Amino acid sequence: MTDEFTAAQQYTAIAVYFDSAGLGQLARRFHTLADIERHHALGIIEFLLGRGYPVQVGGIGEIASTFTSPQNAVEFILRREHDTTGRITQLSRLARFGDDYLADRFVQALLADQVEHTARVMTLLTEIYATNGDLAEIDDYAGRDYVRV
Ligand SMILES: [Fe+2]
């Protein structure tokens, strides 16, 4: 839950970085991703409350808000997503070893979302590499309808 709230704030920080660099379309995409992360956190809370666990919302992790380039920002968030995938996989392992099949089912859905989410960021990064740092082209790509980042 904390990880998802931190991710939401991190995506917002990157969206603001993009906006300040004049990359409005990228900013818009990253605000959407921030909303998705917040939704994940709320889903986890709902799941825990529904099963009678006590839930307390606390602080979040460290946020990076300065980057050397859009590419650097996206590489940063991709590394973070890979770390998150590792942690969700670990949760799945714990649920299975604990014979908690409801938790495992919930975590599997989270993991499926995570894989899709990471794939979107990877595609964006591939596009950024392909544009050789042409910021206008990168932003134009992010604004296209078929792009799901
Ligand atoms: Fe998430």
pTM over 0.85: yes
Domains of the chain are: 2-143 (1.20.1260.10)
Cα 70 to ligand 1 centre (Å) = 21
Cα 89 to ligand 1 centre (Å) = 13
Give the model's pLDDT for residue 64: 97
30 in Cβ contact with 139 (< 8 Å) = no
Cα 39 to ligand 1 centre (Å) = 8
Cα 114 to ligand 1 centre (Å) = 6
40 in Cβ contact with 110 (< 8 Å) = yes
Q: Cα separation of 119 and 127, whole Å?
A: 12
Q: Cα separation of 39 and 81, whole Å?
A: 16
23 in Cβ contact with 135 (< 8 Å) = yes
Which residues, including other chains, have CB under 8 Å from residue 93's CB and lie 6 or more apart? none
pLDDT per residue rounded down to tens, the chain (149 residues): 999 999 999 999 999 999 999 999 999 999 999 999 999 999 999 999 999 999 999 999 999 999 999 999 999 999 999 999 999 999 999 999 999 999 999 999 999 999 998 998 999 999 999 988 888 888 888 888 666 66
Cα 37 to ligand 1 centre (Å) = 4
